[in-house]
Amino acid sequence: MRVFSSMMALTAVLATAPAFGQSAAPAGIWANPAKSVHVRFKPCGPGICGTVIWASPKAKADAQSKGTDPLVGEQLFRDFEPESPGLWSGEVFVPDIGKTFSGTLRLIDARTMVGEGCLFAGIGCRSQTWKRIK
């Protein structure tokens, strides 16, 4: 009887909980640390993607010098899918060097997200703390 009661309680909790990753999705508009790029994250396919909706003149020029023109409209975060609550993985395009890397997004809180990209299998990683602006 005790096991049955525990299973019923667990079932009730799971039935009322949001879908996996749904409560921890980074949907919205986020700014990079330099506040030179604003990216809108929204659903795409089974996950989320992030597209540049605003960029400073310097960010645009840096991207253009490496062949990314226009920067506004470019998808920087591609095919990010949930790994666990608050953690997403996918590909990150870095326009000022013109390359794509594997990456993760980790929500720290409702207004803070850490994005990390790695050259290869966790080697040569670099991270940035992004802030939600909307």
pLDDT in tens, 16-58: 333 333 446 789 999 999 999 999 999 998 899 999 999 999 9
Classify residue 4: in a domain, yes or no. Answer: no
Classify residue 64: in a domain, yes or no. Answer: yes
Mean pLDDT of 98-112: 93
CA distances from 123 to 37, 40, 79, 114, 119 (A): 26, 28, 21, 17, 6
Give residue 70's domain range: 23-132
Classify residue 117: in a domain, yes or no. Answer: yes
Classify residue 52: in a domain, yes or no. Answer: yes
What is the count of structural domains for the chain? Answer: 1
| Helix/strand/coil percent split, the chain, to 5 | 20, 50, 30
Indicate the pTM of the whole model: 0.77
In a 3-state reduction of DSSP, which class is residue 69?
Answer: coil
Which residue carries 């809108």 as its tokens? Answer: 40
Classify residue 9: in a domain, yes or no. Answer: no
Lowest mean pLDDT among 8-12, 67-71, 87-91: 8-12
Classify residue 7: in a domain, yes or no. Answer: no
Say if residue 12's pLDDT is above 90.
Answer: no
Q: What are phi and psi of 129, to 5 degrees?
A: -100, 120
CATH code, domain with 124: 2.40.128.520
Classify residue 17: in a domain, yes or no. Answer: no
Mean pLDDT of 67-84: 93
